[in-house]
Amino acid sequence: GLLDVKGFHVDSFDRILLDPPCSALGLRPKLYVEARSARHLKKYAEYQKRFVEAAVKLLKRGGTLVYSTCTINADENEDMVS
């Protein structure tokens, strides 16, 4: 699982680029979802949310968080940042 971020203080970064592990559905030629992996897509979003929560704690007020994935799964993109 995701470990607590150690060695960094809360509110210590002006900018963070977050590229968490994802389902990689946007990589070519992997533009399909296998039947057995479809039920696992939700788990990627849940795991990524933990990364976002950790990054937000480290970000200074008024800072910028850039969130990037290589997937086309809305749960891991639009729904994550809305």
Q: Which residues are catalytic?
A: 70
Residue 1, class by beta-carbon neighbours within 10 Å (0-12 exposed, 13-18 middle, 19+ buried)?
exposed
Strand partners, 66: 17
Strand partners, 64: 15
